[in-house]
Amino acid sequence: MINKNDIIEKAYECGFGDIGFTTADPFDSQRELLQKREKEYEWVVKMGLDLIAGTDPKQIFPEAKAIIVLMEIYFKEAYPSSMESYFGRCYLDDDRIIRDRLTQRIKAFRSFLKEHGINSKVPFNLPHRVAAARAGMGTFGKNCLFYSNKVVCQGSWVLPIAVVVDHEFSPGDPTLGVGCPEWCKNTCMIACPTDALKGPCKIDPTQCISFLTYYGKGITPVALREPMGLWVYGCDHCQNVCPRNAPWLAKELPVNQKVAVMVEDFKLNQLLHMDKAYFNSRIWPHMFYMSDKDLWRWKMNSARAMGNSLDDAYLPDLLKAFRNNEDERVLGMMAWAMGRIGGAKAKRALNDLLPGRDGLVREEILLALERS
């Protein structure tokens, strides 16, 4: 039977930044939190993810005796600014669909365990951040994110991966507290544009920009459009302003070439005009929380980002897309975007689009004309 050091060595060989061990005991505090805030997380249940069941490793894997936590760094390389300004970094090099990198490394690690008589499971509903903290691998930020105590200059650019195993290992010393410095003036909470952070380690996920970009219902409320800024899919705002992340952000990292070649496909005008075939072949393999049934939301988010860019170079694209679209949520946001950009050209375009419009679209055009 292999020992703990053999497993640690294999984790590093597989390219993980850190590794920790904890027990397979239930995550009672997490269960209590989820039960207390049931309404705020009911959207997860509707998606078919049972977070309550995930708080008991033995409910997932009856033979569970320990949890090995692998620390994946998703920000090893820099991303083009034209990508990280609009998309959360953790989604830019996500291979959960194409399964050609991280998935293969997890598979190699689990195969190693299997070869040495250890069975494992990698459940997605287990509280992986809490598992990492219980394994002593880092602490939490007031923004609810996990901060490594070893990699990325002790920043939050990490993804803990919990591997439940049927073999006992001595656990690490838990570090379940908040590690934010006393001198930090709640920067993340103050900076959150949509007020999703309600207090230290307390988030309303349905107000988080990330949630709103891929799960928001209907046209984005007017009050949230400017605060959501340029984000099209995901958000890194609370991480970008965090002083704990400043050391890593200051590093000069090599550019991720895989993401660099995606730049053209992910330009706002391409997203605004894309059809289902374009989406399914070029976008969905990388960012898959929305299916082609949600193409309207991609277009709506892209239009909002165009508006918040204040760049009148986007006006021709907005006008063209308006005339080639039928979804009132998209049309309404494109009208808002033209009004947000403002100027004589935008006003002329909006006046030209108004005749014959009714309902939501007419309301949005009139609102846009007021501000343009």
Give the residue from 165, 192, 223 where a domain finishes: 165
Please list, in sequence order, all residues whose beta carbon lies within 8 angstroms of the beta carbon of residue 168, skipping any fewer than 6 positions away: 65, 66
Strands of the chain, DSSP E? 18-23, 66-73, 120-121, 138-140, 146-148, 158-165, 197-199, 202-203
The pLDDT-based confidence of 45 (bands split at 50, 70, 90) is: confident
Total number of domains constituting the chain: 2
Q: How far apart are CA 285 and CA 99, in angstroms?
A: 10
Amino acid at 141: G
- Does residue 117 carry a pLDDT above 80? yes
176 part of a folded domain: no
257 part of a folded domain: no
220 part of a folded domain: no
The pLDDT-based confidence of 46 (bands split at 50, 70, 90) is: confident
Convert the pLDDT of each residue in 228-285 to its tens digit: 999 999 999 999 999 999 999 999 999 999 999 999 999 999 999 999 999 999 999 9
- Does residue 293 carry a pLDDT above 90? yes
Give the residue from 106, 134, 165 where a domain finishes: 165
Residues 14 and 135 in one domain: yes
**Taking the model in full, what pTM does it have?**
0.94
Most distant CA pair in the chain, distance: 77
Instruction: Give the angle subtended at the CA of 300 by the CAs of 359 and 350, to the nearest 5°.
Output: 55
- Does residue 1 carry a pLDDT above 80? no
Q: How far apart are CA 197 and CA 192, in angstroms?
A: 7
183 part of a folded domain: no
Q: Cα–Cα distances in Å, from 160 out to 131, 212, 301?
A: 8, 24, 29
325 lies in which domain range? 264-372
85 part of a folded domain: no
